[in-house]
Amino acid sequence: MKSRITLAQRYGQTIILRAYSKEEPLQTPEAASVDSLNRLILSKNLRSLIDSIDELGAMLPANLTKHDQRILAVEEVRKLLADKKFKKVDYQQLSNEMLFASRFPYRPNKKALSEILREHDLPKSNFETTLTRFADDDIVILERIQDWMELRNSLAVTARVMGNLHNPPKLLKGEVQNENSNGLLRAGFQQKEVSKLMKNTWGLQHHFFRTFSNYYHTDFVYNPYKLDRYAGEILEKRTPYHHSVISCKPNWYTALRNQNQKKRVLFLTDQLIRDDKKIEDMDHQLCIGYDGEDWRSLAQEFITSMIKGYMNPKIDWATSQWSQHPTFENSTLIEALWNQLLYSKGHSIIVCQTCGDATLSPNRGKPSVYCSGTCRNYYNEHYISR
């Protein structure tokens, strides 16, 4: 028995609460089908994201830290509720956290959030009443919406780069584009020079700023560290999932772990990207450093870095010993989702001809060039009908 998703505010962040009976398995890697992966990476509003989270079950990263209090007993949650430790959702905070990293990044406004919150906000969802159906030693999973946004965005951005590298979309009607055009730009990245300010300020602290002359960047996730950048213990509580995939203490930048020697992938705050001290460092930008290399080689390195950083793959030798294409262990939902993206049999990554986002499409039949019926109808209306 599992309760429906409830949203609340804690630690100054939006969290997801779900109650489970103690007999129910928490790790559900089998839920990571091609369809469920597509629904996650194509989610572009709170309702579709919640539906996807509900379908997939709990994230539960393998390397939880002592500060990641993700699993609590029902009895303990009842006490927290009685002590008013959970608050109703703050619309502005939730909107800040919900940055959908798509070809054209999107953040929902208050009006777009209000309808779904009527069903899932803590005061309106009757979560306390729901807990009466559970025993004291049953459990409640607490997950930050920020963690789910980072999982969704890391998969979605990697899929777009893979699609533009291996299976780029055809030209739209009237569009002029040669076959060698930059696939990273098509995937939503922009190019920028590493500024003197970056080199002088951060060059001694991280090699990225002294090694590379240029970088690609794209909107990625909300930056939760702006108010308490130097409070180490609080940082882990803010986004335990992000903390588990970085190799240095969060600052104006954070570095993805487990990269190759060149370590091209970095997360920079908006303020550094825009070279404007007046701009609030609202978001992390996902960056790829380079110094004249071809975009294809950079894309390959980026994909490898994302796999190593976010999946931290372990080869499943029982099924891979005599195979040219090794498979990775699927002990967690996160690993299973990455496996589906990388090695889904009978499917290829396609880039939508209308919106530029990527999805897995079956190899049988006529190849799809749209991610959804909405994009197909839009293309037919605005291009084919003209």
- SS3 (DSSP) at 46: helix
Closest by Cα among 320, 335, 318 to 29: 335
For 33-66, what is each residue's pLDDT tens digit?
999 999 999 999 999 999 999 999 888 776 665 5
State how far the Cα of 180 lies from the Cα of 296, in Å rounded to an integer.
10
The whole-chain average pLDDT of the chain stands at 83
Going by C-beta distance under 8 Å and a sequence separation of 6 or more, which residues neighbour residue 181?
none
Residue 169 has pLDDT above 50, yes or no: yes
Q: Quick one: average pLDDT of 215-230?
A: 76
Running DSSP on this structure, what letter comes out for residue 30? G
- More confident: 344 or 61: 344
Query: What letter represents residue 154's amino acid?
Result: S
Going by C-beta distance under 8 Å and a sequence separation of 6 or more, which residues neighbour residue 278?
none
State how far the Cα of 327 lies from the Cα of 325, in Å rounded to an integer.
7
pLDDT on residue 193:
92
State how far the Cα of 98 lies from the Cα of 93, in Å rounded to an integer.
9
Closest by Cα among 13, 338, 379, 347 to 167: 347
pLDDT on residue 230:
44
pLDDT on residue 205:
81
pLDDT on residue 2:
61
pLDDT on residue 229:
47
pLDDT on residue 158:
96
Q: Long-range contacts: 337-343, Cβ < 8 Å, 24+?
A: 337/32, 337/37, 337/40, 337/56, 337/151, 337/155, 338/155, 338/307, 338/310, 338/311, 338/313, 339/32, 340/32, 340/33, 340/34, 340/37, 341/37, 341/155, 341/158, 341/159, 341/162, 342/307
Q: Quick one: average pLDDT of 303-312?
A: 87
Burial class (CB in 10 A: 0-12, 13-18, 19+), 257: middle
Element (H, E) at 253: strand 253-255
Residue 227 has pLDDT above 60, yes or no: no
- Across 136-213, where does the E strand assignment appear? 139-144, 190-193
Residue 118 has pLDDT above 80, yes or no: yes
Residue 324 has pLDDT above 70, yes or no: no
Residue 26 has pLDDT above 90, yes or no: no
Q: Are 65 and 235 in contact (CB under 8 A)?
A: no
Residue 364 has pLDDT above 90, yes or no: no
pLDDT on residue 237:
67
Most confidently modeled of 287-291, 318-322, 378-382?
A: 287-291
Residue 154 has pLDDT above 80, yes or no: yes
Residue 253 has pLDDT above 70, yes or no: yes
Q: Are 25 and 342 in contact (CB under 8 A)?
A: no
Residue 172 has pLDDT above 70, yes or no: no
Lowest mean pLDDT among 2-11, 93-102, 272-281: 272-281
The terminus-to-terminus CA distance of the chain in angstroms comes to 53
For 175-194, what is each residue's pLDDT tens digit?
445 544 899 999 999 999 99
Q: Where are the domains positioned within the chain? A: 6-144, 152-311
Lowest mean pLDDT among 70-74, 159-163, 327-331, 335-339: 327-331
- More confident: 116 or 64: 116
Confidence band of 80 (pLDDT split at 50, 70, 90): very high
pLDDT on residue 249:
67
Whether this model's pTM surpasses 0.85: yes
Which residues are registered as beta bridge partners of 287? 217, 266
Lowest mean pLDDT among 127-136, 221-230, 316-325, 339-348: 316-325
Q: Quick one: average pLDDT of 221-244?
A: 66
State how far the Cα of 351 lies from the Cα of 343, in Å rounded to an integer.
17
Lowest mean pLDDT among 9-13, 139-143, 155-159, 378-382: 378-382
Closest by Cα among 305, 272, 278, 271 to 290: 305
pLDDT on residue 201:
82
Lowest mean pLDDT among 88-102, 136-150, 272-286, 356-370: 272-286
pLDDT on residue 366:
76
Residue 248 has pLDDT above 80, yes or no: no
pLDDT on residue 68:
65
